[in-house]
Structure formats: structure tokens, C-alpha cells
Amino acid sequence: MMDPSSVPIPPGTFRIAKTFAFEAGHRLPGLPVEHKCSRQHGHSYEVQVELTVSAVGLEAPGFVTDFGALAPFKRFLDSELDHHNLHEVLSFEPTSELLAQFLAGWFILNVQPGIPGRLAAVRVRETESSWARFEVAAP
């Protein structure tokens, strides 16, 4: 039988991620009129937040952040974006890239101060094969 104490624990960084979903419509009027995305359409968006913390900073019992502490982000997505036309609630062109950056900013302002982890990235998936990722610059 293996002795777990014989396994060296390497230094490093822990990362966790949680995925959320919402449904919304949008269009990208900055595209040529013949481009299909210039017309109103919808997506089943999938948003993944990725948190990181150094190995010395884990919270008991060994968490980067308790996944339950991310509930305010889900409430925001549900109340402000889910089943909305993104042009009616956002002041920018709702591309996946800009949406990921916006959601990172909202998370940093509203969730990060109350959790031990630090936001590393937000990924927004529009379709099964298309996504954009915004990586937060290190402080």
C-alpha cells in the first residue's frame, strides 16, 4: 500500500472554474448587412469563470473558493441578461469578447471582494464550437 506522506507536494497555483448559462438575443450592426450576425439572433450562452490562488492561500478544507460563494454572479446573469436582448441592457457591441471582458469587470467589482480567490479569466461560449476568453491581467 502506498504511503501518501511519501509523495512530494510540488509548489504551484490552484485554479477552479464554474460554468453558468443564460439565453439571450443580440445582433452585431457593425457587420455588413449580408453577414448573418448583423441580423437579430439568439444564443444559449455558457459563461465560465476561472479563479486562481497560490498554493499557500487555500481556505479550509482546501478550497480556492467555495463554489457556493459564486451565487451572486449567477443571480446577476439570471436577472440582467437571461432572456433579454443584449442591446437593450448593455452599452457596447455584445460580441463574445466584449461580453467576457464586461463580465470579468462585474465579477471583480461585485463578487471578488467577498471571496478568497482571484478572477483569472472569463470565457463566453456562444455555440458548441465558438467562444472567447478574457484573461484578467495580474495585479
DSSP class of residue 18 equals: E
The yes/no answer on whether domain 13-135 falls in CATH 3.30.479.10 is: yes
Over residues 87-126, the pLDDT tens digits come to: 899 999 999 999 999 999 999 999 999 998 899 999 999 9
Q: Catalytic annotation on 35?
A: no
Do 22 and 81 meet the contact criterion of CB atoms below 8 Å apart? yes
Over residues 51-93, the pLDDT tens digits come to: 887 556 788 999 999 999 999 999 999 999 999 999 899 999 9
| Domain residue ranges of the chain, discontinuous segments joined by + | 13-135
pTM higher than 0.85 for the full model? yes
Task: Tell me how many degrees the CA angle 10-136-64 measures, rounded to the nearest 5.
Answer: 40
Q: Catalytic annotation on 50?
A: no
Residue (of 43, 46, 47, 6) closest to 27 by Cα position: 43
23, 26, 37, 41: the active-site residue:
37
Task: Tell me how many degrees the CA angle 126-128-111 measures, rounded to the nearest 5.
Answer: 50
Q: Given this model, what pLDDT does residue 79 score? A: 97
Q: Given this model, what pLDDT does residue 77 score? A: 98
Q: Catalytic annotation on 43?
A: no
